[in-house]
Chains A and B, each alone.
Chain A
Amino acid sequence: MNTILNMKDIVKTYRMGDEEQRVLNEINFNVEQGEFVTILGPSGSGKSTLMNIIGCLDVPTSGNYDLNGNDVAHMDEETLSEVRNREIGFIFQQFQLLPRLSALDNVELPLIYAGVSEKERKQRAKAMLEKVGLGTKLKNKPNQLSGGQQQRVAIARALITQPTILLADEPTGALDQKTGVQIMELFQELHAEGKTIVMITHDEKIARHGSRIVKILDGTLTEYRQEDEQHG
């Protein structure tokens, strides 16, 4: 198997006045191609901080991070933008669609920053929306779509650049249970197609949809083992 994400001794500290708070504590984390990994942890454990570093929105205080051959821990903002565009497909809890744009235009966005021509953008965005089951809602604005449909648009947007990793932070957090399960089924379909997914959640039931679970507690990462389940 092919390791596409490799984190070694990642530390993130925040400085609050005189105090230094270590939010991520020497994290070692690998993801192989085609894995569906879920990161499970309670509130305040450092999940979002980790996700920001995985997603190249932030750089670690120390440690090494290699994403598909990019030495991300030591990049400037300009290059990080390119890496995000090329390697990462974000899926957020609050969908983060632009309210003034149609579903199609929202899905096109990452391709604009990749410098793809308008004609090709339209074609690819349309195909991607059809794939997530929204072929009839291309022109709808986000406020003309249900929550589940909005999250599907966001997933289409994340997939459009064919990124190395799909990175989802609580993707079902804003949805009711039934819709949440449907979104998880879509994730599993994508996983079956061979997509690499990293999902962050505090909900153990949701976490079980993944092929591998890692737990995070107070900034420390541990592999999920059978006995954890029995204790919990």
Chain B
Amino acid sequence: MDTMFKESVKMSWQNIIHNKMRSFLTILGVLIGVTAIIALISIVQGVTDNITGEVMKMGANKITVQIAGTPLKQGLTQTDINEIAQIENLKGVSPTVSGQTSIVYNGEVMEEVAVQGNNDVHFANSDELLETGRPITIVDVESKNRVCLIGQDVVKELFPAESPINKEIIINGVTHTIIGTLQKSSGFSASSPDQSVVVPYTTAMSLIGTGYVPALDIYVEDEALAPETTAEVESALLTAFNYNEDGFRIVNMQNILDTVEQMTGTMSMLLAGIAAISLVVGGIGIMNMMLVTVTERTTEIGLRKALGAKPGTIQLQFVLEALFLSLFGGILGLICGIFISFVGTMAIGVEFTLVGYSIPLALGFSAVIGLAFGYAPAKKASRLNPIDALRSV
């Protein structure tokens, strides 16, 4: 049996090699199908990783609250914020106040600069904010110090040749001392910090002339308890807005991540479905070729049977031939797929990742296709009557 298997492998292989061009055309379908599957999985995975990475950078331990306000109350008061800060499992609360204004340095005016009010917590929870100088401190917030940090576009525009630290600029008519500069943005966040100045949020409130805070970033100590903490934040906000649910919106990063993963998951399934269809088409190609081969080799099959080949042996030989064709297509498709996803991810600008399960998936899929579509032709070959077969010369 061992000898027979070895010989069957050899015979199938010789036949494939003998018809190189035809074999190649036959495996093209499986090749393209596997290429598509591998490329799609890798590219979708690359994009997903990228999005997840960006979202994670924004912080999975961060609860963002956006205040829409009610007719009676347009935002959170300092009292509300102090109330929320009492909730357990919090690292800190960072109110955000934003507006837009012009700034002046040395008689030079820069229009449409975003003014953002933050506090010490904001800087404490991200090491990707501060470039030079010092961050905003709790003292700056409590004493409404007229200090600011400026973004890289502002540095370039107003301080092309000198250090901005300790220089004084006029924001909305009020003089502020520059205490630091902000890092250049990675380019993915919605609002670019490059064209902005950051001041203590209390200072920002008086600059803009509002008594309300329109947004909060709440930092959680233990991420595992984030859902409970979120619930407590929600109840505090409900109290603040007199049980009007439309007054605010809570954005949890984990929710965003879940949505992203769900979306990309659905997309992968869809694309994989399309690729699977092309694999089936490839399988039909193999079946067609195997049926032709069986017809062409009727005499050979008859002779082999006359010399003692059993139906099972003949069947094995042809099933192996279909299996090899399909596997060969699968391996070539794997190589092409990896190459295409490498180029593709590079073109989109995301990191290339070879998804581990894609290799066994591609090979397994093509093996199954080969066996499934090789079975019928092989069965046909094994049933050929040696008398008819030998007479057909």
Contacts and interface: CB of A to CB of B under 8 A. Distances in A.
A163 to B, nearest CB: 10
B5 to A, nearest CB: 10
Interface string A78-116: 100110111000101010101010000000011011111
Contacts of B386: 57
Contacts of A81: 305, 308-311
B57 interface: no
Interface residues of B, number: 24
Contact of B311 (A55, A78, A86, A161): A78
A58 B3 contact: no
A112 B7 contact: yes
B306 A112 contact: no
A118 interface: yes
Contacts of B18: 100
Interface residues of A, number: 28
Contacts of A109: 304, 307
A110 B307 contact: yes
**Residue of B6, B305, B311 with most chain A CB atoms under a 10 A cut-off:** B305
Nearest to A161: B308
B3 A55 contact: no
Contact of A113 (B308, B387, B393): B308
B3 A115 contact: yes
Given A57-B387, A100-B18, A112 B303 contact: no
B14 interface: yes
Contacts of B387: 52, 57-58
Contacts of B300: 98
B343 interface: no
B4 interface: yes
A112 B305 contact: no
B72 interface: no
Contact of A92 (B1, B312, B313, B390): B390
B299 interface: yes
Interface in A114-158: 114-118, 157
B306 A55 contact: yes
A96 B390 contact: yes
B309 A113 contact: yes
Given A113-B309, A118-B3, 6 more contacts: A55-B306, A78-B312, A81-B305, A81-B311, A90-B306, A118-B6
Interface of B: 1, 3-4, 6-7, 14, 18, 299-300, 303-313, 386-387, 390, 393
12 contacts: A57-B305, A57-B386, A57-B387, A57-B390, A77-B310, A78-B310, A81-B305, A81-B309, A96-B393, A100-B18, A112-B3, A115-B3
